[in-house]
Structure 1
């Protein structure tokens, strides 16, 4: 554990030369929390320890019962003092995280709409040798603001069991309270020496000022790529390959007969769901290309989507690796995320390689990514906010399509799991019918792929929405007449 922590700390130090406080600025309902959570997820994914400090949480701890927008009036002196004290407590927690908990970046998520408050934070940064980077979100589009209020604020802890229209009315009045004292960043005079990015109307325009270092440039790069729009991402592995049937890792083998069946079933899935505007991406390895060719739709090949490079262990079974490289085999078990195959890659290397894919996925509409187990794990870890410790163990079974639907303004995704089994040759492949939780207590759980009793064959389609750990979950399955053998029953190497 000590070795792993030291490695992580060294990597974070490589990315940042001093702790940084990212300070959000903007009126309520401008997507600040959405950006804070997405940015935090991204930075943690690339290996920079980051944490959000949301001032609303501190305020709700100090004031248990929210009554109305009057609390946010600038002439409510008692409330103003409470809000200031909450900010000071939150900043002390920021200090503790960056100095005592090996944190590298703290995101201070609050309105911070006055120069007085921002100057307070700047002084705090100077006293503790923290860099300060401001992110201001400006939006004057009434439709975007209304959508944010309806999607997020109606379900806020501030409004338990409130009528939607009343919530909208109260929140709009809260915004007006902030407008009275709002002082936007002034890039020409007062704030010309500050480091910041101003995001206008959810990414339609950007203003970047005095970026200080590498990590701030990465933050700017990311914020300029994220889009707030409804779309779905479909992830699946290639169909079963000949190497899969032999228990070999890596290589560039072709699809097995079972893999070709899945490719045919995948075509049916796309046609059934009328995904006409779907983009399809594959790696440059034959097993993903052959899976995509069956779809009869255009597809793009990405070399950076290739499977993790196993180096000298390519095309070997795990028994062969253990016999030939026992010490390497043991090292991999000790730290699977950071372990690098001899002459190959680690999961950490793979995350760095896949960053351009993440940026493109954030900008795209509906996309189906046909990839590989290690690649799919890395992509899932980003979208589901999984740690480096969890990433190498996320279950990504063959012949399973995972649908991720990023929710506007909300950190997290709606997920659907569609799993195929073989039936008789005449009936092709069908979806399995049964409800399952995809995630529980922060751990990614997918259907068992080792066989088992299987689902009831005549259960109707069901949908069960739930919310666990900030992720909206939808597990979907439909009826299935189980035939000869489940395509998942073949042992799959755990890369």
Structure 2
């Protein structure tokens, strides 16, 4: 719809606009006039939206497929008299597809799901769409001006051409474009299991009435109060408990039962995922998984047998292991924080998949206040607590992090998750999962501090195909 999308990031003191060359396929004069009118309104909205002290990125998704249209965008967004004192960077993203099989698949997906083709048979819709594409190709002008900053994506990121892309764009935008794919696969999030000291056994988020109260920030469940932990002040003897006392705990018997139940749940989910892949052995072999499609599972024969319903099943639709068939005959990317309780939750004896232990998935670092609940902090540091209450997203723990810091270190993990073509399992902690949930359900990340993440519960997301 061309509306600006917020993604607040620093970019060397400049605004950055990413403009997509994707377009509608109808080239009739009335549609072109309507498209230009909407584009003009959207560009104006995006420039107005960026007139703040905050660094912002706007994504302008419209028909930018001619030199004239691109020159108009540059004039509107970068001309000094139109953007005084606010230099703006423009990056054009052009998607090019000349793979006939891929085009055929995408066309069929479009005609089956777009309201534009209601009342038509699939053959009629395909013929209509093909004619529109040919008409569009007559007017299409690829980007040839190497003085522009642009990224060309070929055949769904099988190849990228990058020109004049520097700094943050090279670090974040390019890897993200390489990672996004149209495949539908499940992504599972869960907190690490309960520990012997009840580290993760606090009340559910948002349970405390009245504003922040410990759990609504995701702080209380990741902290532990010991009998020796009294209100802390600088130079007070004893101080907060050592970080090892908070972070080095392992699972309780209840936490171990959750780990085993999680293993069985993921096994069943993964097998069901493979059964829904009609041509799993063929399609998965062309994916973009960072670990490769085999991902250290059994042979493709096992996968093929499973997809042909010869592998394992019972009368109730459940799954049983058959002789010669691996327990996890499907690709699966398992990620966890480096906290022992998280690694233990993600480590399953029957799984051939390695666990990627990533410090990026560690809980929000509370610095000097590690081991204290917010109720304690409000007593011995009321000024800082007031700042936290006013802005829970950007208020940094002394010697630690704020949620904004957490978002920045999660970017590589999100790119890793996005590029997978098979199931992904993430075992982490409240603060991290809050941020990830906000991303995958497309809600403002600044509001993530109020998202509930219950203990011993799995959250499943399935990015929609296309």
CA distance in structure 2 between the partners assigned to 1:293 and 1:152 by the alignment: 41
How far apart are residue 264 of structure 1 and its match?
Answer: 1.8
TM-score (norm 2): 0.68
- Give the structure 2 partner of residue 239 of structure 1: 193
- Give the structure 1 partner of residue 261 of structure 2: 265
- Say whether residues 1:281 and 2:317 are aligned partners: no
| Deviations 1:53-81, CA, capped at 9 Å, x for gaps | xxxxxxxxxxxxxxxx5xx24xx4x5544
- Say whether residues 1:395 and 2:349 are aligned partners: no
- Give the structure 2 partner of residue 121 of structure 1: 73
Task: Check whether the contact 2:20–2:59 (CA below 8 A) recurs between aligned residues.
Answer: yes
- Give the structure 1 partner of residue 397 of structure 2: 341
CA distance in structure 1 between the partners assigned to 2:268 and 2:41 by the alignment: 54
Task: Check whether the contact 1:249–1:316 (CA below 8 A) recurs between aligned residues.
Answer: no
CA distance in structure 2 between the partners assigned to 1:335 and 1:279 by the alignment: 35
Task: Check whether the contact 1:27–1:179 (CA below 8 A) recurs between aligned residues.
Answer: no
- Say whether residues 1:306 and 2:347 are aligned partners: no
Q: Which runs of 5+ in 2 are unaligned?
A: 1-5, 203-219, 224-245, 272-327
CA distance in structure 1 between the partners assigned to 2:21 and 2:221 by the alignment: 52
TM-score (norm 1): 0.64
- Give the structure 2 partner of residue 197 of structure 1: 151
CA distance in structure 1 between the partners assigned to 2:377 and 2:36 by the alignment: 60
Question: Mean Cα displacement is larger for which, 340-349 or 207-216?
Answer: 207-216
CA distance in structure 2 between the partners assigned to 1:399 and 1:95 by the alignment: 45
CA distance in structure 2 between the partners assigned to 1:333 and 1:272 by the alignment: 42
How far apart are residue 213 of structure 1 and its match?
Answer: 5.3
Query: Which structure's residues are more often strand, by fraction?
Result: 1
What are the residue-to-residue correspondences of 1:67-86 with 2, within 5 Å? 72-73=27-28, 76=29, 78-86=30-38
Equivalent of 2:179 in 214, 221, 225: 225
1:336 aligns to what SS in structure 2? coil
Q: Which runs of 5+ in 1 are unaligned?
A: 1-8, 30-68, 410-495
How far apart are residue 93 of structure 1 and its match?
Answer: 2.7
**Structure 1 residues 216, 104: closer, same or farther in 2, change over 3 A?**
farther
1:199 aligns to what SS in structure 2? strand
**Structure 1 residues 353, 212: closer, same or farther in 2, change over 3 A?**
closer
How far apart are residue 387 of structure 1 and its match?
Answer: 1.1
Equivalent of 1:255 in 251, 255, 263: 251
What are the residue-to-residue correspondences of 1:30-49 with 2, within 5 Å? none
**Structure 1 residues 131, 393: closer, same or farther in 2, change over 3 A?**
same
CA distance in structure 1 between the partners assigned to 2:146 and 2:394 by the alignment: 41
- Say whether residues 1:407 and 2:464 are aligned partners: yes
- Say whether residues 1:137 and 2:92 are aligned partners: no
**Structure 1 residues 145, 80: closer, same or farther in 2, change over 3 A?**
same
- Give the structure 1 partner of residue 437 of structure 2: 380
Task: Check whether the contact 2:222–2:430 (CA below 8 A) recurs between aligned residues.
Answer: no
Q: Does 1 or 2 have the higher relative contact order (CA < 8 Å, sep 6+)?
A: 2
- Say whether residues 1:330 and 2:376 are aligned partners: no
**Structure 1 residues 154, 89: closer, same or farther in 2, change over 3 A?**
farther
- Give the structure 1 partner of residue 137 of structure 2: 179
CA distance in structure 1 between the partners assigned to 2:169 and 2:392 by the alignment: 26
How far apart are residue 293 of structure 1 and its match?
Answer: 3.1
**Structure 1 residues 151, 16: closer, same or farther in 2, change over 3 A?**
farther
How far apart are residue 173 of structure 1 and its match?
Answer: 1.7
